[in-house]
Amino acid sequence: MEFVWFIFLPILAAIIVPFLFRAIKNIHTGWFVLIVPVVLFIYYARFVKGILNGEVHISELPWIPSLDISFTAYMDGLSILFSLLITGIGALVVLYSIFYLDKQREKLNNFYVYLLMFMTAMLGIVQSDNTISLYLFWELTSISSFLLIGYWFTRDRSRFGALKSMMITVFGGLMMLGGLVLLSIMGDSYSIRELIANSSSIVGHDYFTLAIVLILLGAFTKSAQFPFYIWLPDAMEAPTPVSAYLHSATMVKAGLYLVARFTPVFATSELWIWLVTGIGLLTLFWGSFFAVKQTDLKAILAFSTVSQLGLIMSLLGASAVAYHVTGEQAAIFKVAAFAAIFHLINHAMFKGSLFMVAGIVDHETGTRDIRKLGGLMSIMPVSFTVAFIGSMSMAGLPPFGGFLSKELFLTSMLSLREFNLFNFDTWGIVFPVIAWIASIFTFVYSFYFVFKTFTGKRKDHELPKKPHEAPLGMLLSPIILAITVVVIFFIPNMVGKAFVNPAVVAMQTGIYTHPGDVGIQVSAWHGWLAPEFLMTLGVIAVGALLFLTMARWQKLYDIQPQYLTLNTLYDSLMIFGETGMNRLSRFYMTGLIRTYFIYMFTFIVTITTGALFIQDAFAVDMNSFSPVNAYGLMTAIILIIAICMVLFAKTRLTAIIALGGVGYSVALFFVIFKAPDLALTQLVIETVSVALFLLAFRYLPSLKSHGETKKIRVGNLLIAAAVGVTMTLIALSAHSQKLIPSISQYYKDTVFTEAAGGNIVNVILVDYRGFDTLFEIAVLGIAAIGVYSMIKLRLSRKEKSDESE
């Protein structure tokens, strides 16, 4: 079976979940859902060996072949790494949710349907080679995450967080779509592989810079970069399994994946390097600084996630420098690419475990408020151990995996000083300084999370529940992740060879030719005088001092007024948008059909006549016109008189008779121009119409004035005249400029031989335009049912009122 089908396995399994939930009451639905990510993880693990040898795998499912759009799955080192993270951590999250979510109180069918939908969306993003299908899955992550964040929809904060995340990420997705469209125009392909191969021809294009900005908007919004990070803390209203999955290992990594995947296309741009590296470092500092301000455990982790995502983003930007240098300098900047992927793996492990611990604390104590917590180490020793490992790895301390990737991060930032293009030789010193300061606050919030929660004085009287250790089932997933964090520290080069190297090769196509070319060996020791070691000592010293004196300097956060925050700006924009749109809608949504017709006709006249004359498309060729005889002239005069009678009629009966005169005059035109079948049809229709009007005579409204002023009547006249003139111009122009041969000759040639009919009009209506006629009949049928229903409703109401009287 083509492996592209495995992308859709979770969403196909989601169809069965509601039936399982209803049919099997005694077993938690999660046990059945767990099978899906486990099977996918095992399946994708089969690709690792081949990819280590430089293989890539392609699988295609046609979607819109005429537009060259398909679901093309492309499996290389980058795709396989993300696929294993999505399915592996997905399996651990499902296992955790089985014990976290109560099967009696929770709507598990909804939860697991949304989760499986999200899993398909993420697999689609990281495996898509087609930019259009990539965008489709990208927006599916926004929709499914909206549903997951708002899972507890009865809570105001859950609904608010879900809406906020969707508004920001969908905005970024639309911007990204524009960038992808521009990219496909520049590279003349929807295939990402082909765009990378043709990157040299794309660089000088006029749309190149605009495409960079639009695509980065998509990446920055999804990966919670400054200033778009504000949706992530509010998304913490989701159940903890959602936070552990979406906001540490998968969804927020989608933007990082996008930047990594398109680095070979845009890396030659100065703007790309400055934006990705600069915004990443700003996000790192901003998130780490404000993490210490938070009092909710998940809020601390949310801001720490923002900072860690900024760290990885800055490394991806720095890795693009390798495209501009050669020799030893190129080898230095390869470290940034390696560090980005390595820390991405480490972050998924330690942050997933920390989110699960935060959920355990909330589940077993009834609160996540760190001000009410403390002294839980003696009661929850296993949870403390997992939290300690995860927090120390996040702080970048040995012997945990985060220490190794943090050291590589510092190495990469120091290396930017040696890059002598794009003013990095001048401003490059800023990058390691910001990185060092942000690392200090990372150290502080890591210690803040674990020690303020598990050490110190117990406050059982402030807890809603009596605290106790979580059951083994709930602890199993975070324990596995914590063990992985420790193991990575001792076998970093095995992890590097199996997972990091192939991903780096895929990310920097054109620099490497084989996985072995990366040539980076990770070690925990660089020497006593190594800059990285000295910076780490400084982080520990200053960080420990700040942690011990937190009570004295945390008041700094009160200096910033609330009205100057990004959240306030977002709220103001939403309020302005709502009130502004309400005012605008009240302006044009008057409830009057006449007003709506004015808007529609004005737009049609403006666009159509404007296009005719701007494109120089209007022309009149009198040679092919039929001559007008006396009968035709007399009929036209009668038609005009009948139309004027309809307009100026004072009684309903006069208007009906005049309207019939209009229809019969048109029928006479068909007779004069030798179309007897059309004339007969017109005569039948007009007779039936006049009869229906007369039958419904008593229900017709009286022809009285409805408040129309002279100004309104003049406006109506002008609009009617403009529409009439426009349609006349279109008819004349279309008749005079026949760009393609008329289809009428085809009808004449085939009406008898192909359709076996003698009446050309009937054959066209029934055979050549059969579906059109069928749909017209359906519309008329629906309209008739609607009219009949309204008449019956009106009559029944009148009968009831008569009875009540």
C-alpha 529/C-alpha 526 separation (Å) is 8
Of the pLDDT bands very low, low, confident and very high (cuts 50, 70, 90), residue 559 is confident
335: Cβ–Cβ under 8 A, 6 or more apart, which residues?
Answer: 408, 411, 412, 415, 520
Q: Rounded mean pLDDT of 291-312? A: 95
CATH topology of domain 590-749: Four Helix Bundle (Hemerythrin (Met), subunit A) (1.20.120)
Of the pLDDT bands very low, low, confident and very high (cuts 50, 70, 90), residue 140 is very high
Mean pLDDT rounded to a whole number for the chain: 88
- What Cα–Cα distance (Å) separates residue 486 from each residue in 349, 399, 650? 10, 7, 92
Per-residue pLDDT tens over the stretch 644-663? 888 888 888 888 889 889 98
Alpha helix segments (H runs only) across 396-518: 401-415, 424-427, 430-454, 472-490, 492-495, 501-507
Q: Rounded mean pLDDT of 39-68? A: 90
Q: What is the largest CA-CA distance in the chain?
A: 110
- pLDDT > 70? residue 510: no
- What the block records as the tokens of 745 is 């000759």
Which stretch of 53-62, 456-465, 789-798 has the lowest confidence by average pLDDT? 789-798
Give the pLDDT of residue 584.
77
Contact 209, 279 (CB under 8 A): no
Distance spanning both ends of the chain, measured CA to CA = 74
What one-character DSSP code corresponds to residue 560?
S
**Number of residues written out for the chain:** 805
Q: Rounded mean pLDDT of 323-329? A: 74
Helices and strands: H and E segment counts in the chain: 35, 2
Residue 561 phi/psi, 5° resolution?
A: -70, 150
Per-residue pLDDT tens over the stretch 199-248? 888 988 899 999 999 999 999 999 999 999 999 999 999 999 999 998 87
- pLDDT > 60? residue 540: yes
Q: Which region, left, alpha or beta, applies to residue 463 given φ > 0 means left and ψ of -120 to 50 means alpha?
A: beta
Per-residue pLDDT tens over the stretch 466-498? 899 999 999 999 999 999 999 999 999 999 999
- 3-state SS, residue 338: helix
- What Cα–Cα distance (Å) separates residue 667 from each residue in 12, 422, 534, 679, 731? 58, 77, 97, 5, 19
C-alpha 76/C-alpha 126 separation (Å) is 10
Per-residue pLDDT tens over the stretch 628-645? 788 888 988 998 999 888
